[in-house]
Structure 1
Amino acid sequence: MPQPSPGNGLRGLTERVQVLGGELRAGPADGGFEVWARLPVTAAASASASPGLVA
């Protein structure tokens, strides 16, 4: 079976979240599967956020 390339799946998502100073957790939860991410919000990011996004 070929090895997944960097940046795919949960490992890649975790890496991208960590680069931004956040954390990601994933695993079984209440009979399903949960993905949870926390990212810091900076003044620059808040100012450039799309009006459709809620901080």
Structure 2
Amino acid sequence: MSDIENLTSTAKSSVFDYKQYEANELNYWYLRDECLAEWRENLIKLRAQFQD
């Protein structure tokens, strides 16, 4: 009986962990895109300075 209980609680936690992981991954991609955009802007500014 306790084995079955353990299985269900493990399944629940793994689903929760997965959802948490999914949210973190989406966050990561969003932040990464923002950082890349900022990095590109800085690079363009630097290039402009050197070309003057």
**Quick check: TM above 0.5?**
no
TM-score between both structures, scaled by the size of structure 2: 0.27
Which protein has the larger Cα radius of gyration, Structure 1 or Structure 2? 2
Return the structure number with greater relative CO, CA threshold 8 A, min gap 6.
Answer: 1
More strand by share: 1
More helix by share: 2
TM-score between both structures, scaled by the size of structure 1: 0.26
